[in-house]
């Protein structure tokens, strides 16, 4: 099984929104194999707590404008690891330090990468 076209479109919108707020290291993984309840994990990093919150808020706004409602949100007030659940797409916005500590990419390393259509600048 692979991610649906709608999930990929939501991921592209979320990635563009994150990029517009200077998110770094955007990575999308197709997790349909090991996780039948969702299609894609999108991960992004922010430099500090206010940046993490700004990235997450922009993603919520743009994805909801597209018509995908936010089902659950965790960690926004702390700004360290924000989880945004849009059903078929789960977005993780990390503070740089927390992303290294939890290393989700390592946990899901066997999942295929979903190419992002934005020009991802790793130097943000």
SS3 letters across 16-55: HHHHHCCCEEEEEEECCCCCCCCCEEEEEEECCHHHHHHH
Task: Say yes or no to pLDDT of 122 above 50.
Answer: no
Domain boundaries, the chain: 5-107
The pTM assigned to this predicted structure is 0.92
pLDDT digits (tens, 9 = 90+) for 22-74: 999 999 999 999 988 999 999 999 999 999 999 999 999 999 999 999 999 99
Strand pairing report for 40-46 and 89-95 = parallel
- Interacting residues of 23 by C-beta distance below 8 A, sequence separation 6+: 44, 45, 46, 55, 93, 124
The continuous run of DSSP H or E covering 97 comes out as helix 96-102
Q: How far apart are CA 75 and CA 31, in angstroms?
A: 22
Q: Which CATH superfamily is domain 5-107 in?
A: Beta Polymerase, domain 2 (3.30.460.10)
Please state the rounded mean pLDDT for residues 4-26.
97
């Amino acid at each position: 099984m692979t991610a649906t076209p709608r999930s990929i479109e939501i991921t592209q919108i979320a990635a563009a929104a994150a990029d517009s707020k200077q998110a770094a290291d955007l990575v999308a993984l197709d997790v349909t194999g090991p996780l039948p309840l969702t299609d894609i994990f999108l991960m992004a990093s922010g430099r500090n707590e206010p940046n993490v919150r700004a990235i997450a808020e922009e993603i919520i706004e743009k994805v909801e404008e597209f018509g995908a409602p936010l089902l659950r949100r965790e960690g926004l007030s702390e700004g360290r690891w924000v989880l945004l659940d849009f059903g078929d797409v789960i977005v993780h916005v990390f503070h740089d330090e927390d992303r290294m500590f939890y290393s989700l990419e390592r946990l899901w390393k066997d999942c295929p990468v979903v190419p992002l259509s934005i020009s991802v600048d790793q130097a943000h």
